Amino acid sequence: MSPVVRFAPSPTGRLHVGNARLALINWLFAKANDGEFILRFDDTDVARSKEEYVDGIRTDLHWLGLTWEREERQSTRMNRYNNAADALKEAGRLYPCYESAEELDFKRKRLRAQHKPPVYDRAALDLSDEGRAKYEAEGRKPHWRFKLNRSDVVWVDMVRHESRYNTANVSDPVVIREDGTFLYLLPSVVDDIDYGVTHIIRGEDHVTNGAVQLEMMEAVSPGSLVTFGHVPLLVGAAGEGLSKRAGSLGLADLRDQNIEPLSASSLLARLGSSEAIDVYSDLDAIIADFNISRFSRATAKFDAQDLELLNAKVLHQMPYEEAAPRLAALVDDEPTLADKGDAFWQAVRGNLKYFNDAADWWSVCFGPLAPSTDDADFMEEAAKHLPLEPWTEETWGQWTSAVKDATGRKGKGLFLPLRMALTGLGHGPELKLLLPLIGRDRVLKRVLGKAA
């Protein structure tokens, strides 16, 4: 059976790298197994959910290269959730509770003081009809809890392998608030059943929820099956947690920093796995290499420096056909690009950290450049030996050999002054590649201290 997975963000903010990684892992798992990837917006929190975040999440996922077979929104399915809740109430699996937030907090504190786990005592189950009527006469409205079986729940996790949790260790979860709105759990379970989700891949902080969800799935639709995969959480380089509320690095930030989507995907696909971090050639290569069993239980660290290194590698291997339309938008010089664009890209890509750095090297090759010379006699001698065009990659070696013979200079004393005169920088792409691009007229003027 082909797997069906879902990524279910709440549209209350943009994606940070932690939840983007989970989206990518789900997508890769689906693609690697000829499955279906569902994007589901958990937008039942009307006060905080915003359409701008829905659009932003779509943009973020598309930037990574992710597509989805279907898109769903929980806000359109309230009748379905209400019907499921009614059925659970009828079966005695949802029960009303009337404690206030202050009363519940007092109970938890008292249990902790007794060195006991702060598990709800199910006092509401002992309420008589008269007791409930009294609370409602006082104006109290109930919140509704799901009654757990308080038994061992066992499943085989794709990452953690055999997993076991006894639901007696947690409180019966609140699924409906006093105002009648739903919390996360029941709508999520209902959706997973209705959409035929076969695999739920998420962070290991949801392991406990896994046991609760399995009990609820069985209560909602007996015989429902799902496979869990709880991957290690992602933290920052210093071990700090990643959260959109804490302002952690988001995909929009990566775009603003000119990070290539392939470098982000290459990093996020392997963080937390046993594989060394390296750049892939494209998304198809990531899919072909993906295996969820490679993820370990160790916490994965996201380091922006790793991303910068991968970003440079992506650019260093990028073919001109892929770079050409972006160069056209960057330099706005169609005739020169058509004539020398390919040679230019081959010359400079190995020195780029970010794509937009190419604009600086375009200016070095084809734009005006103020000369950077401090030895007029040496430069005059170098100008005398400048070969005539046409130029090739051998021209630089022929010229510098002639200048060396004429001046006796060698090494840094020979090459650095010429590089500074031609590019204004002490480092950069090989001059044997840049020289034919700059052209004899510009080279001669720069060597002689004239702007060109």
Q: Which residue has the higher pLDDT, 70 or 300?
A: 70
pLDDT digits (tens, 9 = 90+) for 148-181: 999 999 999 999 999 999 999 999 999 999 999 9
Q: Please tell me what DSSP assigns to residue 351.
A: G
**Cα 282 → chain centroid:** 16
* Radius of gyration of the chain measured on its C-alpha atoms: 31
**Other beta carbons less than 10 A from residue 396's beta carbon:** 21
How confident is the model at residue 248, as a pLDDT? 62
Question: CA 41, CA 38: separation in Å to the nearest integer?
Answer: 10
User: Of 34-43, 168-177, 268-277, where does mean pLDDT reach its minimum?
Assistant: 268-277
pLDDT band of 370, cuts 50, 70, 90: confident
Per-residue pLDDT tens digits for 416-428: 999 999 999 999 9
CA–CA gap between residue 90 and residue 80 (Å, rounded): 16
Cα separations in angstroms, 67 against 38, 41, 70, 227, 271: 9, 15, 9, 22, 21
- Look up residue 162 and give its amino acid: E
Across 28-56, average pLDDT: 95
Task: Decide if 231 contacts 201 (C-beta within 8 A).
Answer: yes
357-385 burial, b at 16+ Cβ within 10 Å, e below that, comes to bbeebbebbbeebebbbeeeebbebbbeb
CA atoms within 13 A on the CB side of 383: 19
* Residue 452 contacts residue 368 (beta carbons within 8 Å): yes
Percent of the chain residues past pLDDT 90, beyond the cut = 87
CB under 8 Å to 290, separation ≥6 — which residues?
Answer: 28, 29, 31, 32, 269
Query: Is 50 exceeded by the pLDDT of residue 446?
Result: yes
pLDDT at 245: 43
The predicted model gives 432-449 an average pLDDT of 96
Q: What is the pLDDT of residues 325-369, one digit of tens each?
A: 999 999 989 999 999 999 999 999 999 999 999 999 999 999 998
The Cα-based distances of 132 to 124, 138, 146, 225, 407 in angstroms read 9, 10, 18, 36, 102
